[in-house]
Structure 1
Amino acid sequence: MTERISKEVVEKLMHAPSACKEAVQAGERYLEAVGTPEEEAARKALVEELKEDVTDIDGLIAFASSPAGEAVFGKEGAEATRKAAEAAKAGGEHYCICDACQAGAEILREAGEV
């Protein structure tokens, strides 16, 4: 059996305001399946969902620099997000700095995927 993903980090993902509905649902299914015969399948489903969802830091920088990012964050928010992402990248961060991506990346590390 593969190692379990920690409950705390899954809950962190599920409570992140930026987490998408599918990631939250995959987290819920995983936590419900822990200790049951369905655990491994739920774990794999969570990992696959997060492989699709977790954005790398360059993706965040590009998004925050785009008209779509400005539409989501507002002009000042997009600029602040871009600057924060660039600072995080300069500090060695590889993933988006939102709570959902940070928790998702932690789960992927625990699962041996990154």
Structure 2
Amino acid sequence: MKQDTMVQTVQSMIAAQSCYEGLKKVGQAWLDAVGTDAEAAAWEALVKEAKADIITVDQLIAFTASPDGIALFGSELAEQLHTHALDIKSKGATYCDCPACAGALAVINA
């Protein structure tokens, strides 16, 4: 993936409401380091954080059916997300497809 495309991907990832704060910080650190001597180390940190934060579709299914997931999202949204997760799993998805997880997957696969 071209660097300008990855910059856009990381910008979108960290702007996503679903992005963990730790991933946002590391993503911004990489964006700030692009073109500097610190870029390679910042990239390594971003890949490590992306691997730690990405959620599998099975984790999403379990969370959206849990009391914690229902408390976080509300029953209606939790049910919608649960149904969506089951749908994407049936189509072969391994990971959550929210903007944060999609961006993390792009980082991991780069």
Indicate whether the TM-score tops 0.5: yes
Map of 1:71 onto structure 2: 71
Map of 2:60 onto structure 1: 60
Map of 1:18 onto structure 2: 18
Map of 2:81 onto structure 1: 81
2-structure distance, mates of 1:40, 1:105: 18
Map of 2:50 onto structure 1: 50
Map of 1:6 onto structure 2: 6
Q: Deviations over 1:21-65 (max 9, x none)?
A: 211111111011112111111001111111111000000000001
Question: What's the TM-score, normalizing by structure 1?
Answer: 0.88
More helix by share: 2
Structure 2 counterpart of 1:16, which letter? A
Structure 2 counterpart of 1:24, which letter? K
SS in 2 for 1:43: helix
2-structure distance, mates of 1:76, 1:65: 11
SS in 2 for 1:97: coil
2-structure distance, mates of 1:71, 1:83: 17
Give 5+ residue unaligned stretches, structure 1: none
Residue 87 of structure 1 deviates from its aligned partner by 0.3
Identity %: 37
Q: CA RMSD in A?
A: 1.5
Question: What's the TM-score, normalizing by structure 2?
Answer: 0.91
1-structure distance, mates of 2:107, 2:44: 11
SS in 2 for 1:70: helix
Q: Give 1:89-104 correspondences, 5 Å limit.
A: 89-104=89-104
2-structure distance, mates of 1:19, 1:77: 17
Residue 89 of structure 1 deviates from its aligned partner by 0.8
SS in 1 for 2:43: helix
2-structure distance, mates of 1:73, 1:98: 14
